[in-house]
Amino acid sequence: MNSPRTTLYRDTHNGKVLGVCAGIADYTGIDVLWVRIGLIISFFTPMSGFTVPGYIIAGFLLKKKPQNLYVDKAEQQYWQGVRQSPKRTAREIRARFRDIDRRLAEVESYYVSSNPRLSAEIERLR
């Protein structure tokens, strides 16, 4: 089952014709200008006979991008990273959790260890 955030959509809001290039740009994280330039360049390749029909077919088969798919720009970049490299994203998340766990252990050891100054302050507050 795919998450709605890892699905390729047509982005009609930012698109010019059917929103296919804008959707591909959103999906990959590449600037839409470069995707459009790639489409134009594909007209001059030996496979140019498939460019227009492929674009039109993609325009009709892809679903329209939901309006509130991302909360903010940071979430959009996160999901683009997930789509580009899920393993790297998982490694980054594990590294963040290890760092949080390490910092939590430092805080815990500070408060659990015998700290006479801290104990005196606590007793004075009672």
Cβ neighbour number for residue 65 with a 10 Å cutoff: 22
The whole-number mean pLDDT for each consecutive block of 10 residues of the chain, a chain of 126 residues, reads: 68 81 84 89 83 86 78 76 76 90 86 75 84
Q: How far apart are CA 24 and CA 46, in angstroms?
A: 22
What is the pLDDT, as a whole number, of residue 2? 60
Q: For residue 89, what are the CA distances in angstroms to 49, 94, 95, 109?
A: 37, 9, 10, 30
- Break the chain into its structural domains and give their ranges: 1-84, 85-126
Supply the pLDDT for residue 1: 42
> With a threshold of 0.75, does the pTM exceed it?
no
**DSSP codes, 52-110:** HHHHHHHHHHSPBPPTTS-SSHHHHHHHHHHHH-HHHHHHHHHHHHHHHHHHHHHHHHH
Q: What's the pLDDT score for residue 98?
A: 94
Which residues 6+ apart lie within 8 Å of 62 measured at CB? 8, 9, 10, 20, 23
Q: What is the pLDDT of residue 5?
A: 64
